[in-house]
């Protein structure tokens, strides 16, 4: 496996070995991740074989875009509040029981999902799960039976309409990008979709 930790010349030689094994004339495009060594190695091969064109992986570029969005202060704050709400509910047997009781009363089948650090799409899934559970959370936040069981900041955020608007806006920003990442990372050929994403 070629990784970005290998020296530039080594990466270029491995890529060239593969090109030559199958006949370099059969290749028109080289696609790698966006690591600087990988990009430089493919540029070296473009110089040696002028008919070749190299591109960075578009799905990887979208991952980097999502990563940058998630690092912004305003988005990071929304995600912190979202995780705190979910952890508060899922971290307490009493609150899970109360959450399930209110879900049953409201005829809801939705659950709260925490994001996974390495999967940008999981942040969208987490935010969507929160929105789908909004009514349950708000009912719990105003019901005297649950007031002392929920953390005060969680109750306050659950009732804060500005927070819910920000969550919806963030879903609207991230969801199209994460949908395209999922589509482009398919095991099936997807290069024809790249122009649609742009």
Mean pLDDT of 69-93: 92
Tell me how far apart the alpha carbons of residues 11 and 138 are, in angstroms, rounded to a whole number: 55
Tokens linked to 87: 């952890």
* pTM (whole model) above 0.75: no
What tens digit of pLDDT does each residue of 63-73 get? 778 788 888 99
Q: What is the maximum alpha-carbon separation in the chain?
A: 74
Q: What residue segments make up the domains of the chain, in order of their start?
A: 8-63+186-197, 73-181
Given this model, what pLDDT does residue 2 score?
A: 55
Element (H, E) at 29: strand 29-32
φ, ψ dihedrals at 111, nearest 5° = -130, 160
3-state secondary structure of 93: helix
Mean pLDDT of 70-93: 93
Tell me how far apart the alpha carbons of residues 47 and 191 are, in angstroms, rounded to a whole number: 24
φ, ψ dihedrals at 96, nearest 5° = -60, -45
115 Cβ partners below 8 Å, 6+ apart?
79, 83, 122, 123, 125, 126
Tell me how far apart the alpha carbons of residues 104 and 140 are, in angstroms, rounded to a whole number: 13
């Amino acid at each position: 496996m070629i990784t970005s930790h290998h020296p530039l010349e080594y990466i270029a030689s491995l890529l060239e070995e593969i090109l030559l094994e199958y006949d370099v004339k059969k290749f028109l495009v080289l696609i790698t991740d966006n690591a600087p060594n990988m990009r430089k190695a493919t540029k070296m091969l473009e110089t040696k074989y002028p008919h070749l064109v190299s591109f960075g992986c578009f799905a990887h570029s979208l991952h980097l875009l999502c990563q940058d969005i998630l690092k912004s202060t305003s988005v990071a704050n929304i995600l912190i509040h979202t995780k705190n709400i979910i952890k508060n509910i899922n971290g307490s047997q009493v609150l899970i029981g109360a959450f399930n009781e209110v879900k049953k009363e409201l005829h809801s089948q939705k659950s709260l999902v925490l994001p996974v650090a390495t999967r940008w799409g999981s942040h969208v899934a987490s935010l969507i799960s929160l929105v789908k559970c909004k009514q349950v959370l708000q009912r719990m936040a105003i019901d005297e039976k649950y007031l002392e069981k929920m953390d005060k900041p969680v109750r306050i955020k659950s009732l804060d309409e500005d927070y819910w608007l920000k969550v919806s806006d963030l879903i609207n920003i991230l969801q199209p990008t994460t949908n395209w990442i999922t589509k482009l990372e398919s095991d099936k050929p997807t290069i024809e979709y790249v122009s649609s994403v742009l």
